[in-house]
Amino acid sequence: MTDSHETLRDIAFVGRLLREAEEGRAFALASILATRGSMPRGASARMALLADGTWLGTIGGGRIEQQMQERCQHVLAGEESNQLEWMTHAKTGMACGGDALVGVKLWEPAFAKGVLGDLLEHLRSDMPFVITEHWVDLSDVTLELTNLDELPQGDPRSTTETTLWDEESKTYAEPAGPDPIAYIFGGGHVGRALTPVLASVGFRVVVFDDREGVAVSGDFPAAERVVLGDFTKLDEKVQVTSRDYVVVTTHGHAWDIDVLEQVARVHPAYVGCIGSRGKAAFARKTLKERGVDPTWVDEGIHLPIGDPILAVTPPEIAISIAAEMIRCRAELRPASERPHQH
């Protein structure tokens, strides 16, 4: 996810705004909701004007910030209503040449206290959630917080690691809470080789194994955590969410299928399982017999796992898995944010 500093994922920033509301003072908040091309700050950046004239945060400086400061002053003074506008290069003359969609909203104390108090509780819970803002009616801009397990399966907000803007519905969504985790179920040769590779490309890695001699933290220095647990009772030790990544490489087909059956309940952003094509057919057949959604079984599991680079050794297999996960992570981003697709 993007930098949380001076966003609604920044506990200090949100706390300062909440104190303002608790003291009965309104404030104006400018928010970058989407960008096109190069901009100093991306979507989720916030800038607030407090009642005493204090400014908090930044949306990138330059002409666009100057223009939005003027808008905030007018909105806070009651001279203008809430606003939503694409600030194009033609309007701002910014040297970077990009465009930004900026919303400016007046936050009255009663509204702010309820929303920001709830937001702080969510941020401190260390559980992933989504901030959704509806800008279709500028006289009633709303903000809601939704835990991932409350979102319908297939909702793009449940897996995205980046902000989303839907132009038709004028809806903005921002993932919040802890960054996604890459769970490696099975700490054998492949799991041990894969851990440092994933960590080196920005994944938070948690290794899970049911063997005391394998689930040893010192053997996985790049892992955020190493868990000793039961493959048939994952929820006792970890909470896999729809935003997480799952690699299944246990020490037996039966355990692999048990893990797949359990993670199927949340439809993680990525699920891959090691094995031959014969094992793949058996695993899919067994999962369907156990009542797992057939569509997810056929389309939601990378089995066999990894990009087809003819990998043989554990380090080579680790590279193929990491490559597949990097690609899948990129495909979860809006097309405009994918490399080579501008």
| pLDDT tens digits for range 288-326 | 999 999 999 999 999 999 999 999 999 999 999 999 999
pLDDT over 60 (residue 93): no
In a domain, residue 220? The reply is yes
Mean pLDDT of 247-274: 96
Whole-structure pTM over 0.85, yes or no?
Answer: yes
The pLDDT score that the predictor gives to residue 154 is 87
- The answer to whether residues 183 and 240 touch, using CB atoms and an 8 Å cutoff, is yes
82 lies in the same domain as 203: no
318 lies in the same domain as 210: yes
Percentage of the residues of the chain whose pLDDT score is greater than 70: 94
Hey, is 288 helix, strand or coil? helix
Q: Which two three-digit tokens encode residue 152?
A: 């319908």
Mean pLDDT of 92-103: 73
In a domain, residue 142? The reply is no
Mean pLDDT of 120-145: 96
**CATH code of the domain containing 312:** 3.40.50.720
Average pLDDT of the chain, as a whole number: 93
Q: Which two three-digit tokens encode residue 46?
A: 């916030």
Total Cβ atoms within 10 A of residue 75: 24
In a domain, residue 339? The reply is no
189 lies in the same domain as 309: yes
Range of the structural domain that residue 98 is part of: 11-126
In a domain, residue 138? The reply is no
247-273 exposure pattern, b = at least 16 Cβ within 10 A, e = fewer: bbbbbeeebbbbbbbbbbebbbbbbbb
Percentage of the residues of the chain whose pLDDT score is greater than 90: 84
In a domain, residue 161? The reply is no
In a domain, residue 203? The reply is yes
30 lies in the same domain as 115: yes
In a domain, residue 85? The reply is yes
Predicted confidence (pLDDT) per residue in 18-53, tens digit: 999 999 999 999 999 999 887 778 999 999 999 999
pLDDT over 50 (residue 165): yes
Among 91, 108, 126, residue at a domain's last position: 126
Q: Which two three-digit tokens encode residue 186?
A: 């099975």
107 lies in the same domain as 216: no
User: Running DSSP on this structure, what letter comes out for residue 296?
Assistant: H
Predicted confidence (pLDDT) per residue in 326-336, tens digit: 999 999 877 65
Query: Which is nearest to 173 in space by CA: 12, 13, 332, 340?
Result: 332
Predicted confidence (pLDDT) per residue in 61-70, tens digit: 888 899 999 9
The pLDDT score that the predictor gives to residue 70 is 96
Query: Which is nearest to 241 in space by CA: 147, 171, 312?
Result: 147
Banded pLDDT at 126 (limits 50, 70, 90): confident
Total Cβ atoms within 10 A of residue 121: 10
Total Cβ atoms within 10 A of residue 70: 12
Name the phi and psi angles at 19, rounded to 5.
Answer: -60, -40
Name the phi and psi angles at 335, rounded to 5.
Answer: -55, -35
The pLDDT score that the predictor gives to residue 337 is 57
In a domain, residue 122? The reply is yes
What residues have CB less than 8 Å from 296, skipping those under 6 apart?
A: 264, 267
The number of folded domains in the chain is 2
The pLDDT score that the predictor gives to residue 342 is 43
The pLDDT score that the predictor gives to residue 254 is 95
186 lies in the same domain as 114: no
Mean pLDDT of 110-121: 97
Mean pLDDT of 145-154: 92
Predicted confidence (pLDDT) per residue in 2-19, tens digit: 568 899 999 999 999 999
192 lies in the same domain as 321: yes
